[in-house]
């Protein structure tokens, strides 16, 4: 059953109707589903499992792995319960008082010999890896959630513990706080453990704290974004820009003012561009790992609003946060067994990763930290606004280019859709899951990425085949940047360090925004023949789809019209121009995150000559919208003329000018990008 708010105010919130009371109702709605699976106050937050192949724990796993699931369920559900308890201390679900439940289960989790004890770091190190100095455990992650939730429900839970009980919790936390952690965003977990201890009067090692804090600061890449591993994704927002705000409040402003000031400065810088990552409805893009966390992406707004000198627009921030909340909670397929499904909307196994369990999606509860802001805070008291969207002309696309994290957003006023193009990506050639999460040419807020629908076709990816069964997606994306309204990147196929780049097939990418989508003018760099290259458009949910093929002036297009699984109108137009042999349509089952069945339009070209100046420029376009109104013919076929420099008109060298029927021109020139490609 989908969430329907009982309390709405379309005067204060003209776009979503949601108020602070609506958010409390949403929190209670989620907790009702969770507690429908908890029979009594003694039972842990371990939810029914319908997926067992990917998610942990697996049969034969060590005992600490099963304990990690218990801890993950406890702390991540606490993210939703804590602000609810703070605002409604006596809330009771399934006959269980939430305040009493979490007070009891937190103590059980940290207490030896209790049934629901989750093991401290020392216990697990002895059991799992006594000789491994780099051993780490999922429980470290959950300690940070625990201390945040104890802080949110301080008066209702933490303050009611006896000194002995507080000391017991503190001893458990300290064991994780000073132990080994993963050298990326996990350092923030140790920092929060230490800060919580310090805030509550316990001695800490300030050098350990400083080492973690300075390292986190030095992951900063610019534009408000931090690098977390090889790639950039929402972890920069729901980890770095959320946890640093809390750390500042608990510790940084007082003890490390320089570092705290930089964290605040970076958060404010993020607020300058972060709203552009959401569409006009506030929808979150399905991009990067851990997409099962969904609207936790909006917690970066909460973090900034906790800073001393917050720069976030409160009315626009709430509009985005509420829009993203309803993106998921308003769907009938969102809950399975009362718990957010392992997917983006409903269950979607291609998205799920091995470090997740049935309770992992509850990390979306971080979005509910806005409920810690008082009712008179501007976030709640200011009217909802649409921010920059109201400043755009009807056919305008606003592009925001961030060279530090290699991200480019396109906000289409004509459709309200936001598209994201990414760079600085390195994945192993066989890491299909990582490639799908990061290496799509474009990510679209209303057409989430589709898993592989056919052997040689992938949505929003080039796929290379040498005709011997070796089918290869691009696994590395280099960033060049934005020039004269064109974004330049490069992708390599089957890239590794065993061979120099000239022994790897590459595609130089050049794309630019159109009112309803993106046009591509790419250049292939092949070294082996024969070969086939394909390019997929977005996946299209098939709930009864009208398909139309058109051809004009030698260009081909396929137009798909239909609805998603909620009945919302969808439309996609895929046009192929120079360089392509033909256009196809792959039908698939189980590869689309919205609908059971789906289509992926794709283009293909076969190259058979080893040498000879064949056509090297590939021109295509994908348009999307949520409307039954047909695309105009000039939208589907917008190119008036392609002007090449080389006499063969194949794009072998020199600039390529695209003259559009509306009078606009774009010039694509790859010359010289070799010296300015970035990872």
Tens-place pLDDT, residues 440-457: 999 999 999 999 988 899
Give domain status of residue 495, yes or no.
yes
What is the arithmetic mean of pLDDT over 452-472?
Answer: 87
Asked if residue 366 has pLDDT above 80, the reply is yes
CB atoms within 10 A of CB 497: 5
- Judge contact between 356 and 340, C-beta under 8 A: no
| Residue 98 structural domain | 20-387
pLDDT value at residue 530: 87
Residues 443 and 320 occupy one common structural domain: no
Paired with 678 in beta bridges are 479
Give domain status of residue 122, yes or no.
yes
Residues 434 and 300 occupy one common structural domain: no
Percentage, residues of the chain above pLDDT 90? 93
Residue 529 confidence class, pLDDT cut points 50, 70, 90: confident
Residues 413 and 497 occupy one common structural domain: yes
Give domain status of residue 676, yes or no.
no
Q: Between helices 299-306 and 257-273, what is the axis angle to 10°?
A: 130
Distance CA 551, CA 547 (A): 14
611-670: pLDDT as tens digits: 888 899 999 999 999 999 999 999 999 999 999 999 999 999 999 999 999 999 999 999
Helix (H/G/I), strand (E/B), else coil: 670? coil
**146: nearest Cα among 70, 207, 204:** 70
Whose structure tokens read 């292939």?
524
Residues 477 and 516 occupy one common structural domain: yes
CB atoms within 10 A of CB 494: 18
For residue 109, what is the domain's CATH number? 1.50.10.20
Q: State which H helix or E strand residue 571 sits in.
A: strand 569-576
Distance CA 403, CA 239 (A): 21
Q: State which H helix or E strand residue 394 sits in.
A: none
Residues 300 and 425 occupy one common structural domain: no
**Residues near 537 by Cβ (< 8 Å), separated by ≥ 6?**
459, 460, 572, 574, 600, 601, 602, 622
Residue 469 confidence class, pLDDT cut points 50, 70, 90: low
| Domain final position from 387, 413, 428 | 387
Q: What share of the chain is helix, strand, coil (3-state, %, to 5)?
A: 35, 25, 40
For residue 475, what is the domain's CATH number? 2.70.98
Give domain status of residue 342, yes or no.
yes
- Judge contact between 55 and 356, C-beta under 8 A: yes
Residues 301 and 438 occupy one common structural domain: no
* Structural domain count of the chain: 2
Give the pair of three-digit tokens for residue 92.
């009771």
Give the pair of three-digit tokens for residue 314.
């409160």
The answer, yes or no, to whether the previous bond of 530 is cis (omega within 30 of 0) is yes
| Domain final position from 349, 364, 387 | 387
471-519: pLDDT as tens digits: 889 999 999 999 999 999 999 998 988 888 888 899 999 999 999 999 9
SS in 3 state form for 317-351? HHHHHHHHHHHHHCCCCCEECCEECCCCCCCCHHH
Residues 276 and 360 occupy one common structural domain: yes
Residues 410 and 370 occupy one common structural domain: no
Classify 258 in phi/psi space as left (phi over 0), alpha (psi -120 to 50) or beta: alpha
Residues 441 and 381 occupy one common structural domain: no
Paired with 548 in beta bridges are 559
Asked if residue 252 has pLDDT above 80, the reply is yes
Greatest CA separation for the chain:
84
Residues 178 and 295 occupy one common structural domain: yes
Q: Between helices 138-152 and 121-128, what is the axis angle to 10°?
A: 170
Residues 449 and 350 occupy one common structural domain: no
List the single range of 95-99, 363-367, 413-417, 430-434 with lowest mean pLDDT.
430-434
Give domain status of residue 180, yes or no.
yes
Q: State which H helix or E strand residue 148 sits in.
A: helix 138-152
Q: Average model confidence (pLDDT) for the chain?
A: 96
Residue 528 confidence class, pLDDT cut points 50, 70, 90: confident
Give domain status of residue 8, yes or no.
no
Give domain status of residue 13, yes or no.
no
Asked if residue 468 has pLDDT above 80, the reply is no
Which string of DSSP letters, residue by residue, matches 418-434? EEEEE--EE--TT-HHH
| Domain final position from 329, 357, 387 | 387
Q: For the chain, what is the radius of gyration of the CA atoms?
A: 26
Residues 379 and 402 occupy one common structural domain: no
Give domain status of residue 302, yes or no.
yes
In terms of Cβ atoms closer than 10 Å to its own Cβ (0-12, 13-18, 19+), residue 268 is: middle
């Amino acid at each position: 059953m989908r969430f329907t708010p009982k309390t709405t105010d379309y005067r204060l919130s003209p776009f979503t109707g949601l108020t602070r009371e609506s958010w409390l109702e949403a929190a209670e709605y989620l907790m009702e589903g969770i507690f429908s699976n908890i029979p009594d106050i003694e039972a842990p937050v371990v939810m029914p499992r319908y997926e067992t192949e990917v998610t942990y724990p697996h049969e034969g796993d060590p005992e600490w792995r099963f304990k990690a699931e218990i801890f993950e369920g406890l702390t991540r559900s606490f993210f939703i319960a804590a602000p609810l308890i703070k605002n409604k201390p006596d809330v009771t679900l399934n006959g269980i008082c939430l305040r009493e439940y979490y007070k009891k289960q937190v103590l059980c989790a940290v207490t030896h010999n209790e049934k629901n004890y989750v093991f401290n770091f020392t216990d697990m190190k002895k059991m799992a890896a006594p000789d491994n100095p780099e051993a780490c455990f999922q429980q470290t992650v959950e300690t940070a959630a625990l201390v945040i939730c104890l802080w949110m429900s301080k008066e209702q839970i933490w303050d009611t513990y006896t000194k002995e009980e507080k000391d017991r919790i503190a001893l458990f936390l300290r064991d994780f706080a000073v132990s080994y952690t993963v050298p990326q965003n996990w350092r923030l977990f140790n920092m929060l453990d230490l800060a919580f201890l310090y805030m509550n009067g316990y001695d800490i090692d300030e050098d350990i704290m400083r080492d973690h804090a300075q390292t986190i600061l030095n992951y900063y890449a610019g534009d408000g974004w931090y690098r977390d591993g090889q790639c950039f994704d929402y972890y920069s927002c729901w980890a770095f820009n959320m946890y640093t705000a809390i750390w500042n409040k608990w510790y940084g402003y007082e003890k490390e003012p320089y570092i705290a000031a930089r964290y605040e400065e970076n958060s404010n810088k993020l607020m300058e561009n972060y709203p552009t990552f959401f569409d006009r409805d506030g929808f979150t893009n399905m991009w990067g790992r851990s997409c099962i966390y969904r609207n936790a992406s909006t917690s970066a707004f909460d973090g900034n609003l906790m800073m001393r000198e917050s720069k976030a627009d409160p009315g626009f921030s709430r509009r985005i946060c509420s829009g993203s909340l309803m993106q998921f909670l308003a769907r009938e397929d969102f809950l399975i067994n009362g718990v957010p499904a392992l997917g983006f909307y409903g269950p979607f196994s291609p998205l799920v990763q091995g470090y997740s369990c049935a309770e992992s999606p509850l990390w979306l509860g971080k979005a509910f930290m806005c409920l810690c802001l008082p009712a008179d805070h501007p976030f709640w008291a200011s009217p909802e606004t649409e921010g920059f969207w109201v400043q755009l002309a009807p056919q305008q696309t606003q592009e925001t280019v961030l060279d530090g994290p290699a991200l480019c957003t396109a906000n289409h006023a004509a459709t309200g859709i936001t598209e994201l193009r990414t760079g600085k990506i390195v994945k192993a050639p066989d890491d299909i899951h990582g490639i799908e999460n990061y290496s799509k040419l474009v990510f679209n807020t209303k057409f989430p990425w589709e898993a592989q629908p056919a052997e040689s076709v992938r949505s929003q990816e080039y796929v290379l085949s040498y005709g011997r069964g070796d089918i290869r997606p691009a696994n590395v994306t280099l960033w060049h940047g934005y020039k004269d309204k064109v974004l330049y990147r490069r992708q390599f196929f089957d890239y590794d360090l065993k061979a120099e780049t000239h022994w790897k097939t590459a595609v130089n990418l050049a794309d630019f925004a159109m009112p309803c989508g993106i046009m591509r003018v790419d250049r292939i760099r092949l070294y082996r023949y024969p070969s086939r290259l394909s390019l997929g458009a977005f996946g299209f949910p098939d709930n009864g789809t009208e398909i139309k093929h058109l051809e004009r002036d030698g260009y081909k297009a396929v137009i798909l019209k239909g609805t998603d699984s909620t009945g919302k109108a969808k439309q996609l137009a895929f046009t192929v121009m120079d360089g392509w042999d033909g256009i196809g349509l792959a039908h698939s089952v189980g590869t689309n995150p919205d609908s059971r069945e789906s289509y992926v339009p794709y283009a293909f070209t076969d190259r058979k000559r080893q040498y000879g100046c064949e056509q090297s420029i590939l021109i295509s376009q994908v348009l999307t919208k949520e409307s039954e109104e047909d695309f105009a013919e000039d939208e589907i076929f917008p190119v008036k003329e392609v002007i090449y420099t080389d006499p063969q008109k194949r794009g072998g060298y020199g600039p390529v000018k695209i003259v559009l029927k509306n009078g606009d021109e774009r010039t694509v020139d790859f010359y010289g990008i070799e010296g300015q490609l970035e990872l």
